[in-house]
Amino acid sequence: MADELDRATLSRCRRGDAQAFRALVEHYQDRVFALCLALAGSEAEDLTQETFVRVHGAVGGFDPDGPARLGAWILTIARRLCTDRARAVGRRPTVALDVVPLGDGRPGADTELDRARRARALHQAIAALPEEQRAVVALQLWDGLEYEEIAAIERVPVGTVRSRLARAKDALKRALGVDDEERNGTHR
């Protein structure tokens, strides 16, 4: 489970503290960006910024003792924005692979090129998935949400989340040849 912003900082955010809100943005920006990238491709950065603008206007009404964790609440906002944008634009999002920073970013290692190659191939494979599968992949594997939280965001039963995730993984395995590597023992 992904860690959450501490309650003290959240309280300050809700009172309009700018420094606390910056801390909130920095805490959740990677998760929001990952979801937006999976769903909206090249518009991910703009949508991430817009998500936090919306969060800024609504965080005063967020109930820290309510059923949703802050992270799931923020990602719900991001998900809706991405859906609205895709509907407004009316086209399938494209993934801007060349601008995506990967992993921990440390240069120099021999594995770095290989990792970048794999990541690029993976993003291409994710971009080829249907939208609902891209969403569950991002929410579960990149954002660390529970199945129940994903089901709430996607407004589908938990079983549907599981099946969408399974189908997505199968497709990605096929696209990346992971099964072959596993059988051949070449996966690192």
Partner 1 sequence: MEPIDELIRAAAPRAPRGLADAVERRLGARRRTQRGFVAAGVLVAAAAMLVLWLVRPTAPVPRPSAWIAVSARATTADGKPVAAGQPLTAGALVRVGDGGIALLERAVAIASAGAHAQVMLGSQSEARVGDGAIELLSGQARLEGPEARVTGDVAEVTTLGASAAATVDLRRNPMIKASLPKTAALAALLSVAVLDGGARVAAKGHAPILLAKNDRTLVAPKLPPLTTRAPAARPAAKPVAKPAPTPAPAPTPTANARPTATATGQLDKDVIRTAVQDHLPELRTCYDRVLARSPKLAGKLVVRMTLVTKDGQSTVSEAEIQPTDDGDLDSIPMQTCVLQAVSQWRFPPSADGGDVVVSYPFLFATADDGE
d(CA 125, CA 161): 19
**DSSP secondary structure string, 58-84?**
HGGG--TTSSS-HHHHHHHHHHHHHHH
Using the CB atoms, write b or e for 62-83: b if 16+ within 10 Å. eeeeeebbbbbbbbbbbbebbe
Region from 7-15, 33-41, 63-71, 79-87 binding partner 1, contact rule CB under 8 A: 33-41
d(CA 136, CA 150): 7
Site membership for partner 1, residue 75 (CB under 8 A): no
Region from 6-14, 70-78, 80-88, 111-119 binding partner 1, contact rule CB under 8 A: 111-119
Q: Output the smallest distance, CB 29 to partner 1, in A.
A: 4
**Token pair of 145 as six digits:** 């949400």
Site membership for partner 1, residue 176 (CB under 8 A): yes
Site string (121-140) toward partner 1, x via CB under 8 A: -xx--x----------x---
Using the CB atoms, write b or e for 141-160: b if 16+ within 10 Å. ebbebbbebbbbbbeeeeeb
Q: Identify which of residues 90 and 180 has a Cβ nearer to partner 1 in the complex.
A: 180
Footprint on this chain of partner 1 (rule: CB under 8 A): 18, 22, 25-26, 29-30, 32-34, 37, 44-45, 48-50, 52-53, 56, 99-103, 105, 115, 118-119, 122-123, 126, 137, 141-142, 169, 172-173, 176, 178, 181-182, 187
